[in-house]
Amino acid sequence: MSFQISVEKLSKQYRIGLANRHSTLRESLIGLMTLSFLRANAHEETIWALQNVSFSIKRGEAVGIIGRNGAGKSTLLKILSRITNPTCGIVAVDGKVASLLEVGTGFHQELTGRENIYLNGSILGMAKKEVDRKLDAIVEFSGVAKFLDTPIKRYSSGMRLRLGFAVAAHLDPDILIVDEVLAVGDAEFQKKCLNTMENLRGGARTVLFVSHNLAAVENLCERCIWIDGGQIRMDGETRSVIEAYMGSVSGAGTVSSELEDVPNRRGSGKVRYRAVEFISPERNAARFIRAGDPVVMRFHYEAAESIPSASFGFRMYTDMGTLVTDTSTSHHGIHVPLEAGKAYLDLEIDCLNLLPAKYTLSLWLTDMDGVEVYDNLEHAVTLEVEASNIYQSGKVIDSRLGIVFFPQKWNLAGISGRAEQLTASLVSPGRS
């Protein structure tokens, strides 16, 4: 069999509760008396979580599954890991499956770390002998050796997570199904998990990986399936699928912050900001910009009269309120003459070196000396920066590692045994 997972015309229907079945008490009582609650109800509303999904995955392939919340990704994983049954369609899986839809499934607060390793391992399909054999490795990976015989209710959430992933990382399945388990945990630990998953891949294991961390998907999977509204929207090489997905998330046309109706703005009003657009040259106007992308910020304004020399500027803050930067045309020594009417001004950024997070912008518009304020809006615009493969390493680089990153390169040319010379050259300038 060349395919390890083969899915044909898979559909899954969910009942989403009863749609206003009994509107009056009398009807409810009649319903109760006729035992209608015991019958399958025709009024039940249903939705298709998955519809007509077909694909197949070869042995050793690593496939990412992306899509918006509620697109059907989790339902697909649940069907593949046999937790729920499809409404119709055929699923064929060849091999031992381990599915990690949650870290530490079945952990019990009252049991000790050691006991939970055995229980969790057993639930995930490990034989007791296997756990016996791998216990030391699991304990070492988790880093909770000191607390092994302490009930895990005394553990921090981080320790519990580490323990859970330690067990999961030592499963030895043919097919590994992972759902968003890396969304939690500190950066250090996420790195460790991703490394472990990469090692898993080295062992020619088939991996299905659902995540919102597109950088991780990009690094881990050569193929990617994009699910949208319960159907496969795109299936192909990871990079192109992610590009297409990102494009759709931002939506076509103008996605911008409209500013005309913002209350509480200060200033004389001779010139007003109308809107701010973020334009990514590779895509259309986008609310989501990826870290490291080139981006154009377009400031739309309307001037009531012509002004010989104005200054446009903004301050950018993190969502914690830290000032990231304050920049303006006057800092650049640029005079902007304005004519009455509507127009726009562009700020071009070659590489948006912000780490993924949410930022807010305060805008201002003054005369060249900053004496007369025409317009001033505090925290009026939000910019969301999405994760991307910043250093082309697939490592998760996110807001825990700071606010900005610099375009940079490590140069290893000097590491090959010329240390002595280097020291000499460092010392010599001081002497001469």
Partner 1 sequence: MKPASWMRQGSASELWHYRELLYFFAWREIKLRYRQAALGVAWAVIQPLFNMIMFALLFGRLAGMPSDGIPYPIFCFCALVPWTYFSTVLGLASNSLVSNESLLTKVYFPRVLLPAGTALAGLLDFVIGSLLLVCLMFYYHVRLSWALLFSPLVILVMVLLTVGVSMLMAAANVRYRDVRYALPFLIQIWLFATPIIYPATMIPARYRPILALNPCWGVVDAFRACLFPNLPIDFRLIGASIGVTLVVFVAGAYYFHKAERSFADVI
Among 22-30, 94-102, 188-196, 397-405, which window interacts with partner 1 (CB under 8 A)?
A: 94-102
Residues 6+ apart with CB under 8 A from 277: 254, 255, 256, 257, 285, 296, 297, 298, 300
d(CA 43, CA 49): 19
Task: List the structure tokens of 118.
Answer: 């055995």
Considering beta carbons, is residue 83 or 323 the nearer one to partner 1? Answer: 83
Smallest gap, in angstroms, from Cβ of residue 161 to partner 1?
15
Report the residue number, 74 or 399, with the smaller CB distance to partner 1: 74
- Report if residue 85 touches partner 1, rule: CB under 8 A: yes
Smallest Cα–Cα separation from 207: which of 77, 79, 390?
A: 77
Binding string to partner 1 for residues 8 to 47, with x set by CB under 8 A, is what?
------xx--------------------------------
Q: How many residues bind partner 1 (CB under 8 A)?
A: 33
SS3 state at 401: helix
The reply to whether 84 sits near partner 1 by the rule CB under 8 A is yes
Spatial contact of 316 and 414, defined as CB atoms under 8 Å apart: no
* Secondary structure of residue 122 in the 3-state scheme: helix
Cα gap 49→22, rounded to integer Å: 26
Helix axes 128-142, 113-123, angle to 10 degrees: 130
Which residue of 3, 48, 55, 118 would you call a contact of partner 1, by CB under 8 A? Answer: 118
Which helix (H) or strand (E) is 323 found in, with range?
strand 323-328
| C-beta of 44 vs 305, nearer to partner 1 | 44
CA-CA-CA-CA torsion sign (199, 293, 184, 99): negative
Binding status of residue 82 toward partner 1 by CB under 8 A:
yes
Whole-angstrom Cα distance, residue 178 to residue 185? Answer: 15
Tell me which residue of 107, 56, 57, 99 sits closest to 79, measured CA to CA: 99
- The residue from 50, 57, 93, 363 that contacts partner 1 (CB under 8 A) is 93
**Shortest distance, CB of residue 210 to partner 1, whole angstroms?**
14
Residue located via tokens 């912050």:
257
- Asked if 105 is part of the footprint of partner 1 (rule: CB under 8 A), the reply reads yes
Among 32, 88, 92, 334, the residue binding partner 1 under the rule CB under 8 A is: 92
- The binder of partner 1 chosen from 123, 137, 252, 404 (CB under 8 A): 123
Candidate ranges 116-124, 355-363, 370-378, 380-388; the one touching partner 1 (CB under 8 A)? 116-124
Nearer CB in complex with partner 1: 83/184: 83
One of 99, 190, 206, 388 touching partner 1 (CB under 8 A) = 99
Interaction between residue 138 and partner 1 (CB under 8 A): no
Q: Would you tell me the crossing angle of helices 187-202 and 157-169 to the nearest 10 degrees?
A: 10
Q: Is 127 one of the binding residues for partner 1 (CB under 8 A)? A: yes
Q: Which two tokens stand for residue 71?
A: 């697109």
Show contacts with partner 1 in window 304-343 (CB under 8 A): none
Q: Does 345 bind partner 1 (CB under 8 A)?
A: no
Phi-psi region of 341 (alpha: psi -120 to 50; beta: other; left: phi over 0): left
Q: How far is the CB of 411 from partner 1 (least distance, A)?
A: 47
Residue 93 or 200: which CB sits closer to partner 1?
Answer: 93
**Smallest distance from the beta carbon of 46 to partner 1, in angstroms?**
11
Tokens of 165: 């992933």
Three-state DSSP class for residue 173: coil
User: For partner 1, which residue of 17, 60, 95, 341 counts as binding (CB under 8 A)?
Assistant: 95
Q: Tell me which residues in 140-179 interact with partner 1 (CB under 8 A).
A: 174-175
- Contact pattern for partner 1 over residues 173 through 212, marking x by CB under 8 A: -xx-------------------------------------
DSSP state of 403: S
| Measured distance CA(270)–CA(303) in Å, rounded | 6
Site of interaction with partner 1 (CB under 8 A): 14-15, 78, 81-85, 92-97, 99, 101-102, 105-106, 108, 110-111, 115, 118-119, 122-125, 127-128, 174-175
